[in-house]
Amino acid sequence: SGGEQSPCLFQFREDGFLVLEHFFTMEECDSMRNQIQRIIEEMEVPPHCRTEFSTKEEEQLQAQGSSDYFLTSGDKIRFFFEKGVLDERGNFLIPKEKSISKIGHALHAYDPVFKQITHCSKVQELGRKLGLERPVVVQSMYIFKVQPQGLSFVAVTPHQDATFLHTEPLGRVLGFWIALEDATRENGCLWFIPGSHTSGITRRMVRAAPGTSTCVEFVGSEPAYDDSQFIPLPISKGGLILIHGEVVHKSELNSSDSSRHVFTFHVMEAKDTSWSKENWLQPTPELPFPSLYT
């Protein structure tokens, strides 16, 4: 509709995020949860691939950076584990479904259930409402956020998605974050600084030069954010949060007994946009970034 903006889109451009409750049905959420159970049951993880996932910068560099497994996961379905769930030989200390932190980064391309959700007509219609002309899907993740037995789940420190998924110009990356269970303040819902998507980014994760000890490195630094500026966004099962690539967001520890399963994927407006060659994630001949519109 010409230059008109719906109140929703106006809100998204103001805040850098938008909450759409009940975007997906209970059945759609359950189909994703059931499918991930099947994927875990069939999971064969070679011990040398059992990388732990951490959000602290040094550990990120050490665990993910030294890990080819992470860097080459853009066109595969791979498993990343919580800290302390494996012994030195790489055997599970707790049930494996409680040991996984996330599964990434190509569920949207290779799994029929997640592919169908990513490209469903509701999502495509939303993309058109947002004015996306040539959106492509760059990555997807299933995030568990469980409270493993006797282990504390790490919080996800404040960050901007564009730190990891850089484009020229900025402002071309958008996250779709789907709650597959209620996300509450107790089990680790997202927190945002409204309006923080307008001043660019201060830190980038880039592929390191060949021959360095890590595969990725950080350039720049994350500023100290004022905790009082964050607002929590609890959302019910089936809700969708749209996340602007530069908005600052975080999630706290899951201090509850319930998990907080999420399926999330990132889309880039490919029209007049270049994807940074320095991003850890790169399209491959096997998987060029697929169009969101089918």
pLDDT score recorded for residue 1: 42
Higher pLDDT: 284 or 97? It is 284
Q: Within a domain: residue 4?
A: no
Q: pLDDT tens digits for 240-261? A: 999 999 999 999 888 888 889 9
In the block, tokens 């099962």 appear at: 237
Q: Is 283 within a domain?
A: no
pLDDT at residue 99 is higher than 90: no
130 and 174 Cβ atoms separated by less than 8 Å: yes
CB 135 within 8 A of CB 291: yes
Query: CA–CA distance from 279 to each of 5, 106, 204, 233 (Å)?
Result: 32, 16, 9, 29
- Where do we find the tokens 């040398």? 48
Task: Give the Cβ contact number of residue 162 at 10 Å.
Answer: 23
Is the pTM here over 0.85, yes or no? Answer: yes
Residue 16 lies in a domain: yes
Residue 49 lies inside a defined structural domain of this protein: yes
Question: Given CA atoms 242, 28, 104, 292 in this order, what sign does their dihedral have?
Answer: negative
* Count of domains observed in the chain: 1
Peptide bond into 48 cis (omega under 30): no
pLDDT at 67: 63
**pLDDT tens by residue, 46-94:** 555 555 565 667 665 545 444 677 888 999 999 888 777 777 677 788 8
Which of 39, 34, 259 has its CA nearest to residue 149? 259
The more confident residue out of 99 and 182 is 182
Say which residue the tokens 């230059």 belong to.
Answer: 3
**Beta partners for residue 140, in sequence order:** 105, 265
For residue 293, tell me if it sits in a domain: no
Domain assignment of residue 290, yes or no:
no
For residue 28 the two structure tokens come to: 């759609």
Residue 127 in tokens: 């993309």
Say what the pLDDT of residue 166 is: 98
For residue 85, the model assigns a pLDDT of 79
Using one digit for the tens of pLDDT, what is the confidence trace for 180-230?
A: 999 999 999 999 999 999 999 999 999 988 777 778 899 999 899 999 999
Query: Based on the number of CB atoms within 10 Å of its own CB, is 117 exposed (0-12), middle (13-18) or buried (19 or more)?
Result: buried
Q: What CATH number has the domain bearing residue 53?
A: 2.60.120.620
Which residue range is the domain that position 76 belongs to? Answer: 10-275
User: Which residues make Cβ contacts (< 8 Å) with residue 107, sequence separation at least 6?
Assistant: 77, 114, 115, 140, 141, 142, 263
Q: Kindly report the backbone phi and psi dihedral angles of residue 168, in degrees, each rounded to the nearest multiple of 5, phi listed first.
A: -115, 125
Tens-place pLDDT, residues 145-180: 886 554 545 578 999 999 999 999 999 999 999 999
Residue 294 lies in a domain: no
Give mean pLDDT, residues 36-54.
Answer: 73
Residue 64: its pLDDT value, please?
A: 47
- Report the C-alpha gap between 47 and 86 in whole angstroms: 10
Q: What are the C-alpha distances in Å from 154 to residues 161, 184, 250, 254?
A: 18, 16, 11, 8
Residue with token string 């007509």: 121
Could you identify the residue written with the tokens 């998987």?
287
Q: How buried is residue 122: exposed, middle or buried, by Cβ count under 10 Å (0-12/13-18/19+)?
A: middle
Residue written as token pair 């791979």? 78
Encoded amino acid at 32, one letter: M
Tokens for 58? 């040094």
The verdict on residue 288 lying in a domain is: no
pLDDT > 60? residue 111: yes
pLDDT higher than 80, residue 95: yes
